[in-house]
Chain A
């Protein structure tokens, strides 16, 4: 009879390990959400010259905990005309893939749930499942605002998945692996991918903002036009689960950005003290989470047609060109990464400069057309 770790039968050890892993991931998600909500409130308060939560606990630290207890204690309300099973299933369908993503995140050397050799693909796969839950939530609510929110969300998530995946491809080309652990190890000695592939970092970051429904892409739950989008009919902890999933998703994409572009757990003295890796990984991840919050406090929301045309007319062509250039340069210079880095920085510069110039030209065209139309009307009258 085969014997697993700790002298346990594998048939007992496997479910035990699964339960432990799920428990740990849940622990991380719940605490991460508590910390992030507090951080977000405080950060937005600072940026908007307010105080933020101050009453519950020192510096308002326990405010989110109090809110969580309030959510848990709320009555579980379901409108009569909603579709029962779909309404109840939707939060889980959004939450479960996010939770499963934690399995492949490499927190430190030898501290990873499972080192899948298709880890990046696994994360992309789970990211694509969220949209199903959101669409179902919108449909099952039997409410036109929810439905419009769900449909917007489907369009947005499916569109932005394309540049997101295409941005990942360049990193995979440079690192030569799909495994999260091997990608981290390929960036030793501060030769992190951010220096080599800044354009892919920026495009992935933009697409990730859209994938997590964060500002400036939070159209599916745009309060000013859609009540609360697909969340309109949800309340209490079912609503809370959606928000947990959103904050968990933010953490996951930040962790992907950390692993793929910022070198994951690597940092000074990490070879002699591997546990430092967890600290580096967490710090880098939360640095990106803070940028997410900064953007939320700064930028206004896109309009739906701007959102779509930006994705299909700007982001996707840029990412495809990036893949082409990176692949050709890697084949031409197999030993050095310098040409790739130079080309990528140049392309990033061109991307950043081109957007305002193109925008100005387009707006000038729009103004000229409107003026001509107004004149035509004036003549007709």
Chain B
């Protein structure tokens, strides 16, 4: 990585860690949702730095464009005031600190001890061809199974929440 890459990495890493911390520590759920979108954006930037453009785009399109909107939509539909109490991890700081340490320290140790075993240079920029071949050729069957599973889940969700209205005919004019 050249100088600009390192600088961008530093900015994105700060955004990622800061945004992640803010999601957990902020007391307002709407602000937390927005910080989460920010974290996802930084994450997409990381993917871009690695040359994985398609994954970066889908990261934004799905997580920022769909999931965050869905969360904010849900928050908007429920009455919200400023909470006077903290959530689990905001209330029980010692427990949270222990759990955090138990998870984070191994990750950090692993990350700093990691050396590329092959020593190969980075992949050529652009993951489009590689990604599409692996999804639609090498792993076509698992991909199809996953999509059918999602379809079944969607149909099931619709059936579960469907209400039999007495004036079903009057619904659509």
Query: A139-B30, A178-B128, A369-B169 are known contacts. Are A132 and B61 too (CB-CB below 8 A)?
Result: no
Residue A2 CB within 8 A of the other chain: yes
A147–B80 Cα distance when bound, in Å, is: 14
Complex-state Cα separation, A128 to B60, whole angstroms: 8
Residues of chain A lying within 8 A (CB to CB) of residue B30: 83, 86, 139
Kindly state the interface size class of chain A when it binds its partner: 20 to 34
Determine if A65 is an interface residue (Cβ-Cβ < 8 Å). no
Known: A116-B53, A128-B61, A129-B60. A135 touches B2 (CB 8 A): no
B64 touches A128 (CB 8 A): yes
Write the B27-62 contact mask toward A (1 if CB under 8 angstroms, else 0): 000110010010000000000000001100100110
Q: Please, how many angstroms separate the alpha-carbon atoms of A332 and B172 in the complex?
A: 42
The verdict on A150 contacting chain B, using a C-beta distance below 8 Å, is yes
Given known pairs A158-B66, A178-B128, A366-B173, the reply for A118 and B57 (CB within 8 Å) is yes
A2 partner, pick from B2, B68, B126, beta carbons under 8 A:
B2
Q: Give the number of chain B interface residues (Cβ < 8 Å).
A: 27
Chain A residues positioned under 8 Å from B73 (CB to CB): 135, 151, 154
Check B57–A122 contact: CB distance below 8 A: yes
CA distance in complex: A132, B60 (Å): 12
Task: Chain B residues near A128: list those with CB within 8 A.
Answer: 60-61, 64-66
How distant is A32 from chain B, measured CB to nearest CB, in Å?
24
Nearest chain B residue, comparing its CB with the CB of A128: B65
CB of B119 within 8 Å of the partner chain: no
Nearest-neighbour CB distance to chain A for B46, whole angstroms, equals 16
Would you list which residues of chain A between 138 and 179 have a CB under 8 Å from chain B? 138-139, 147, 150-151, 154, 158, 161, 178
Cβ-defined partner of A136 (8 Å) among B60, B72, B173:
B72
Q: Which residues of B contact A86 (CB under 8 A)?
A: 30-31, 34
* Pair B60/A14 contact, Cβ less than 8 Å: no
CB pair B2 A129 closer than 8 Å: no
Residues of B near A125 (CB, < 8 A) are 57, 60-61, 65
- Asked whether, in the complex, the Cβ of A132 is within 8 Å of the Cβ of B64, the reply is yes
Structural contact, B53 and A117, CB atoms closer than 8 A: yes
Tell yes or no: A121 within 8 A of B by CB: yes
B76 an interface residue at 8 Å Cβ cutoff? Answer: yes
Q: Is the CB of B61 within 8 A of A135?
A: no
A117 and B126 contact, Cβ closer than 8 Å, known pairs A128-B60, A135-B73, A139-B76: yes
CB distance from B158 to the nearest CB of A (A): 12
Let me know if B4 is at the binding interface, CB within 8 A.
yes
A10 touches B4 (CB 8 A): yes
Are A309 and B172 in contact, CB atoms less than 8 angstroms apart?
Answer: yes
B13 at interface, CB cutoff 8 A? no
- Taking a contact as CB atoms closer than 8 A, the residue among A10, A131, A138, A161 that contacts B2 in the complex is A10
Q: Pull 21 A–B residue pairs with CB atoms less than 8 Å apart, ordered by A.
A: A11-B3, A14-B4, A86-B31, A117-B53, A117-B128, A118-B53, A118-B54, A118-B128, A121-B57, A124-B57, A124-B61, A125-B57, A125-B61, A129-B65, A131-B69, A132-B69, A135-B69, A135-B76, A147-B76, A305-B173, A366-B173
- Footprint of A on B, CB under 8 Å? 2-4, 7, 30-31, 34, 37, 53-54, 57, 60-61, 64-66, 68-69, 72-73, 75-76, 126, 128, 169, 172-173
Known: A132-B65, A136-B34, A305-B172. 17 other contacts (CB 8 A): A10-B2, A11-B3, A11-B7, A117-B53, A117-B126, A118-B53, A118-B126, A122-B57, A129-B60, A131-B65, A132-B37, A132-B64, A139-B75, A139-B76, A158-B66, A178-B128, A369-B169
- List 5 tightest A-B contacts by C-beta distance, closest first: A128-B65, A121-B57, A125-B61, A125-B60, A118-B53
